[in-house]
Structure 1
């Protein structure tokens, strides 16, 4: 994967972890406003996930990198985003995909004893287009 430099989330935590990952998936946006994107098409999505916290777990991790891959790659790789339950009532735009990835990760982080937070999710849909999702302060643990 090509090295990317992304905007950073401002915080006061001692530890910050960033994980890059990618998956291939198809989607379509069933709206007249979506133009060509109304038709089924695919992308290789590239993600950057930022997690931060002040405490490490018993192993010395903020969070194990492989957990992030299991949560996201395993779920979305080689799938049709429209078929996922979280997109049953909304279109799987890049913006909403970024938000959904954040929700999935934050839900798991809240169960960890060291309680890190997911501060941002960046989803690159094409080489020239990406979305940054940052939760509101009140949405963090």
Structure 2
């Protein structure tokens, strides 16, 4: 993993967990305005997920680090993202751009977190597509 200092989202939770991992995936952006990105190509994505909460579970975890990697790495590593049901060639909000992939990662993780009794939240997904390009996605939480 490359050394990286990630921007930290502001919050008032007692615990903040960060998990780094990587996955290698191919994709294409199905729009002629995407230029060369219309062609199938691949990246080794470097991800950092920030999860926070006030309560630990019965094992003393906010969430087990292994579960985060399992939810994302095991799903996306060595895949063509466009073939995953989360993405669509019909709607730009669902094209597998780095922005959308970061949002989908947050949604996958939050869906799992919502099943946990201690109710942690995914605050941020940092997704690096290349050594010089990355996206940060921070889900909006309303006034809570």
Report whether the alignment pairs 1:107 with 2:74. Answer: no
> TM-score, length-normalised on structure 1?
0.96
Q: SS of the residue aligned with 1:86?
A: coil
> TM-score, length-normalised on structure 2?
0.94
Corresponding residue of 2:24: 24
User: How many residues of Structure 1 are paired with residues of Structure 2 in the alignment?
Assistant: 140
Segments of 5+ residues of structure 2 without an aligned counterpart are none
Which ranges of 4 or more aligned residues in structure 1 deviate by more than 4 Å? Answer: none
CA RMSD in angstroms, aligned pairs only: 1.2
Deviation, 1:132, is 0.3
Report whether the alignment pairs 1:136 with 2:140. Answer: yes
Corresponding residue of 1:40: 40
| Farther-moved stretch of structure 1 (88-97 vs 43-52) | 88-97
Cα distance between partner residues in 2 of 1:68 and 1:80: 20
Corresponding residue of 2:79: 79
Q: SS of the residue aligned with 1:87?
A: coil
Cα distance between partner residues in 1 of 2:143 and 2:70: 23
Report whether the alignment pairs 1:51 with 2:55. Answer: no
Q: SS of the residue aligned with 2:136?
A: strand
Q: SS of the residue aligned with 1:37?
A: helix
Cα distance between partner residues in 1 of 2:109 and 2:30: 27
